[in-house]
Amino acid sequence: MNIDKFKDNSTVIQIPSFDGEDSIDIKVKRSQLMSMITQGKIPNRLLGVAAKAINGNRSKKEKADPVQEAKELAEWIAFYCEICMVEPKYEEVKDNITDDQALAIYAWAIAPIDALRSFRDKEKNDTDNRDGKVLPEEAK
């Protein structure tokens, strides 16, 4: 791989077309969420959402506000479209992009994150150190 290809780090994906029957090829690149956080490039309104995405779900005591969650999801989808779309740029098509197209880009962008989600949801190890084997009461 040459340095120009390495710097480009983009790929072509297919998203649904406007008629829903065909697909459109667009050029995208993976987001660097951690880098963006450290550089202050994530809008303040999304920092809390980013923290939840990185740290996992909210505590069980917190009540979810479905309207607020839907609004945050819509902002998150637009944010990922903006940072991932290379050709065309999101700014060029944001007034014309469909929900299905934006969701396809979002799904592609978060696929590596979702692959790790199952590890975050695992219960912690049992604290009594049982290995699952039943030992006899008396050793003979």
87, 27 Cβ separation under 8 angstroms: yes
Domain residue ranges of the chain, discontinuous segments joined by +: 3-56+63-116
Give the tokens for residue 69: 């969650």
Q: What is residue 116's predicted lDDT score, i.e. its pLDDT?
A: 47
When comparing pLDDT for 53 and 17, which is higher? 17
List pLDDT tens digits, range 76-132.
Answer: 899 889 989 999 999 999 999 999 999 999 999 887 655 544 554 444 554 555 555
* Residue 31 pLDDT grade (very low, low, confident, very high; cuts 50, 70, 90): confident
Mean pLDDT of the chain: 75
Q: What phi-psi label fits residue 43: left (phi over 0), alpha (psi between -120 and 50 degrees) or beta?
A: beta
Q: What is residue 120's predicted lDDT score, i.e. its pLDDT?
A: 47
SS3 105: helix
Distance of CA 118 to the CA centre of its chain: 13
Q: Which of 91, 61, 62 is nearest to 78 (CA)?
A: 91
Q: What is residue 9's predicted lDDT score, i.e. its pLDDT?
A: 77
- Number of other residues whose CB lies within 10 A of the CB of residue 116: 8
111, 11 Cβ separation under 8 angstroms: no
* Residue 19 pLDDT grade (very low, low, confident, very high; cuts 50, 70, 90): confident
List pLDDT tens digits, range 64-76.
Answer: 678 887 888 888 8
